[in-house]
Amino acid sequence: MTDTDTLSIAKRREAVLAELSDAASPAPQLVAVTKTQPDAAIDEILATGQRVFGENRVQEAEARWSGRRSAYPDLELHLIGPLQTNKAEIAVRLFDVIETLDRPKLADALAKAMEKVGRALPVLIQVNTGEEPQKAGVAPHELQQLLQYARDKGLDVQGLMCIPPVDEPAGPHFALLAKLAKEAGLSVLSMGMSSDYATAARFGSTHVRVGSALFGPRDYP
């Protein structure tokens, strides 16, 4: 174990924020990714003033955050994992931003859920910049069609999100996403994770999704 491994969450957060500020001005919004984290870690990062969080799974997020809403009314929850259409209504009730729109059927489900619940949430389209068959996200050449479809459904599409291939440099993927957003007239770019958030900031990211750089490496059996 290194000294870095023993840093508190507060110190890790300070370091990440400083690096983001050095990389870009204005710095991207830090979205703390809290999937699988224990309650003690959540309470520790809340104590630092962090209020924007990302979750991958609807049911896990519901269990973690529903009871904390009243204590922290300024929470902002982002869904950053794939969303099944049958969970669209739960997601719309719980989250404040949906970052993973990637198909017309999901646009239909979200539009219907938002109308029923009475919440018009900001939405990002996830782009599969590497066109990896195992990964969620719309192919770059199909983005414009999905964007128009979502807008026709009344969705407030504000930007794009991507997860670059793990075995390729992230920079070209961030550059592609920024180009696509500019062409589409979209201002929000959710790109960059623990291994590449500073790079993403330099390419114009407005939101970085950071987990292990905040909470430390996880120990798995």
Q: Are 123 and 98 in contact (CB under 8 A)?
A: yes
The burial of 43, by beta-carbon neighbours within 10 Å (0-12 exposed, 13-18 middle, 19 or more buried), is given as exposed
CATH at 90: 3.20.20.10
The answer to whether residue 153 is domain-embedded is yes
Report percent pLDDT > 70 for the chain. Answer: 95
- Three-class secondary structure of residue 93 per DSSP: helix
State yes or no: pLDDT of 79 exceeds 90: yes
d(CA 181, CA 166): 22
Taking the chain, what is the end-to-end CA distance rounded to the nearest angstrom? Answer: 17
What is the residue type of 3? D
Q: Are strands 52-55 and 122-126 parallel, antiparallel or unpaired?
A: unpaired
Q: What is the pLDDT of residue 220?
A: 38
Q: What is the residue-averaged pLDDT of the chain?
A: 94
The answer to whether residue 220 is domain-embedded is no
Q: What is the pLDDT of residue 74?
A: 96
Q: State the DSSP code for 55.
A: E
Q: What is the pLDDT of residue 72?
A: 95
* Residue 165, token pair as written in the block: 């291939």
- What is the reported pTM? 0.94
The mean pLDDT of 155-172, rounded to a whole number, is 96
Q: What is the pLDDT of residue 218?
A: 64
Q: What is the pLDDT of residue 7?
A: 79
The answer to whether residue 142 is domain-embedded is yes
pLDDT single digits (tens) 8-25: 999 999 999 999 999 999
Q: Are 56 and 44 in contact (CB under 8 A)?
A: no
The answer to whether residue 221 is domain-embedded is no
Q: Residues near 63 by Cβ (< 8 Å), separated by ≥ 6? A: none
pLDDT single digits (tens) 87-112: 999 999 999 999 999 999 999 999 99
Q: Are 159 and 206 in contact (CB under 8 A)?
A: yes
Q: How many CB atoms lie within 10 A of CB 118?
A: 8
The answer to whether residue 165 is domain-embedded is yes
Consecutive H or E run containing 79: strand 76-79
pLDDT single digits (tens) 29-57: 999 999 999 999 999 999 999 999 999 99
pLDDT single digits (tens) 124-147: 999 999 999 999 999 999 999 999
The answer to whether residue 96 is domain-embedded is yes
* Residue 218, token pair as written in the block: 């996880």
The answer to whether residue 49 is domain-embedded is yes
Position 219 confidence tier, pLDDT thresholds 50, 70, 90: low
d(CA 175, CA 119): 32
- Three-class secondary structure of residue 73 per DSSP: coil
The answer to whether residue 179 is domain-embedded is yes
Domain limits for position 133:
4-215
In the chain, how many domains are there? 1
Q: Which residue has the tokens 């440099």?
A: 169
State yes or no: pLDDT of 3 exceeds 80: no
Q: State the DSSP code for 126.
A: E
Q: What angle do CA 214, 16, 53 make, to 5 degrees?
A: 50
* Residue 79, token pair as written in the block: 């869904």
